[in-house]
Amino acid sequence: MRKRIAAFLLVLAMTLPLCALSENTEYRTLRQGDTGPDVLRLKQAMYWLGYFTNLQNLSDSYNKTMVERVTLFQENNGLPPDGVATPEVQALVYSGSAVKTDTAPNPSPVPTPAPTPVAPSSTLAPPEQDDQGFIASGEPYVYQNEEDGHWAYLSHDIQVEIKRYEEPAEPLVWFETHITLREGTPLRSLLSVSANGNLGRAMKQPPDILENYGNVIVAFSDDFFGYRREYDQTQGIIIRDGKIYSDKTKENGKSWLPQLDIFAVFPDGTAKTFLNKEHTAEEYLAMGVKDTYAFGPILVQGGMLSDDIYTYSKLETQKEPRTAIGYLGPNEYLALTVIGRRENYSEGATILWLARRMEACGALEAMNLDGGNTCSLYFMGQLLNRSKNVQKKDIRYVTGLIGVVEEE
């Protein structure tokens, strides 16, 4: 009997490596920025090996803590300590023969939940609306409450609502511009006009650009591609209103910002993000793209945080004035405009904050646009993200904006 048991155990031991090897092919390589049930499952397995100390607080995100614990696991098991969970690393975790640890660092303190931002308290009272929320008939409805931080414009074809939010503890102030357009009413690219009539060729102040487009309801910063052209920099794949302005992008899409990723808008009111070299200008035109904006990084793609937001070390700490555009659904967009560099009022936001806010607002696709002192948000000619006392001469020159125009 003992011989039979011994023989069985010997056969089992011989087959275990083969099983583990065959399972390797089922694992995908996991690294920082990845999410999913396989990440959570790996964390749970590492918990039983001592690499995590709280089973209940594990998430499905391959975050910085996960990189640290995988690195420790690799060091303890004689593997290159790069923090990447290859299929081989995962197979070893699940094998039952991995080296355990009792020296895993204490988990980082759970951060105190962020305070709920101070939001406008006023409510809109528009006249009769149709089943899509547009004004059924009559004159547009306009609401402006600067003190409360609430603006709105509703007409037969356009819905724009802007809310100002504040987090005094940060301090941080930002605007969320929710745009809904009736099918056939486009999101517009508003380009400067040079003396000889060329679009996007002149550096002008936003009020001068808006004058060329009639009744502009809302406008905000774009990708500032004209600046890159002016100073002989790579512009990215630029299409405006179906016309190619640039077909050259960076060879290395992972260089420092902007890496010239693409936010593409289609005539049917849909939008999608693409990596900088994913398509040529001609390919975008063949796809039917109306406008492309080249900046980046991509913040949200397919409704989830983009992997690229973890690529740059400064993205988690560097606070700046920011602009971002998001796609919520057909003919529905969201613009975030963050005030920054104003001591004791609003320090600005990180790229990571911008991405998480877009995700929280339900963006399906979102991308970072030009920021810094060129950040502009206009509502019916009024500059909202600057002090009322700002002089026109102090407003930065740009080559274009993104906006919504009420056609006559």
pLDDT tens column, 274-283 = 999 999 999 9
User: In the structure, what pLDDT confidence band is assigned to residue 186 with cuts at 50, 70 and 90?
Assistant: very high
Compute the distance between CA of residue 327 and CA of residue 395 in angstroms, rounded to an integer: 28
Contacts 24+ apart (CB under 8 A), 53-62: 53/104, 53/106, 53/107, 54/107, 57/107, 57/110, 60/35, 60/36, 61/34, 61/35, 62/30, 62/31, 62/32, 62/33, 62/34, 62/35
Name the CATH superfamily, with its identifier, for domain 2-95.
Answer: PGBD-like superfamily/PGBD (1.10.101.10)
- Which tokens in the block code for residue 203? 């550096």
Phi-psi region of 248 (alpha: psi -120 to 50; beta: other; left: phi over 0): beta
Residue 126 token pair: 């528009």
* Residue 197 vs residue 64, higher pLDDT: 64
Q: Which of 56-65, 82-91, 161-170, 222-231 has the lowest mean pLDDT?
A: 56-65
pTM above 0.75, yes or no: no
Q: Where in the chain is the domain with CATH 1.10.101.10?
A: 2-95
Question: What is the H or E stretch that residue 280 is in?
Answer: none
